[in-house]
Structure 1
Amino acid sequence: MVGGNAIRGTRVGAGPTGESERGETAPRRRISYWCANRHESRPSFAIDAEIPEEWDCPRCGLPAGRDEQNPPAAPRTEPYKTHLAYVKERRSEADGEAILAEALERLRQRRQI
């Protein structure tokens, strides 16, 4: 034997190898899922497991469905909004002017004291 390493390919503390020592694996089936980018992923499920309608594509992260011709659409991502954008959704321009005038009046009164 060249190199003389009898335990090549194993690590210290590794358990027994092979199915005979670990028991039989559960019967499995592979299901194909396709994403909008036409990536196919084939996760395996136990025969008696409930099969999900959608699966996340491991390549691009988009949702994948079981119908190759009609994969699920990519989720719509909302653009980042600033605090000011959220405030403008809740308040009108007149409300903003009134709040600003009230805050300025309070500041002026504090300075006079």
Structure 2
Amino acid sequence: MAGGNAIRGSRVGAGPMGEAERGEVAARVFVSYYCANNHETRPSFAEEPGLVIPEFWDCPRCGFPAGQDKDNPPQPPKVEPYKTHLAYVKERRSDTDGAAILDEALGSLRDRGLIK
């Protein structure tokens, strides 16, 4: 157990409580942001000259972008599914091109005697 001189309920390095000891709190500006899921976020910004409030803010609940217009929030970004190598090849080539390339490759393998 600790020595008998410790004050109960305090910790080492604890300072006095109260705003007078910590200094003045900066004036704050609260801005409401709304996401597509109707979540409201109200971050605060220190009010100072030249303050630039961001147009968009990430919603901490769903991660979607949030804007200041409650009736018209920004739409969530479109998520593209993972594409395989074959899907990218099919975007560049038509089925007839693919069949021609396959026939050429099979002909080359037949000429070398690797397949019958």
TM-score by length of 1: 0.73
Q: What is the aligned partner in structure 1 of residue 69 from structure 2?
A: 67
Name the amino acid aligned to 1:6: I
- How far, CA to CA, are the matches of 1:8 and 1:110 in structure 2? 86
Q: Structure 1 unaligned segments of length 5 or more: list them.
A: none
1:43 is the counterpart of 2:4 = no
1:6 is the counterpart of 2:7 = yes
Please give the per-residue CA displacement for 1:8-47, whole angstroms capped at 9, x wherever unaligned.
Answer: 364x5x5756555554444321111011111111111122
CA distance 1:26–1:109, shift in 2 (3 Å): farther
- How far, CA to CA, are the matches of 1:100 and 1:7 in structure 2? 82
**What percentage of residue pairs aligned between the two structures are identical?**
61
Matches within 5 A, 1:18-29: 20=20, 23-29=23-29
Name the amino acid aligned to 2:34: W
TM-score by length of 2: 0.71
What SS is found at the alignment partner of 1:111?
coil
How many pairs align? 107
Please give the per-residue CA displacement for 1:46-93, whole angstroms capped at 9, x wherever unaligned.
Answer: 223311111110001111110112111122222332222211110011
Deviation at 1:103, TM superposition (A): 1.8
What SS is found at the alignment partner of 2:79?
coil
What SS is found at the alignment partner of 1:50?
coil
My pick for the range that moved more, 20-29 or 80-89, is 20-29
Contact residue 33 and residue 42 of structure 1 kept, 8 A: yes
- How far, CA to CA, are the matches of 2:44 and 2:64 in structure 1? 19
- How far, CA to CA, are the matches of 1:91 and 1:104 in structure 2? 18
CA distance 1:22–1:111, shift in 2 (3 Å): farther
RMSD across aligned positions (CA):
2.7
Q: Structure 2 unaligned segments of length 5 or more: list them.
A: none
Q: What is the aligned partner in structure 2 of residue 78 from structure 1?
A: 80
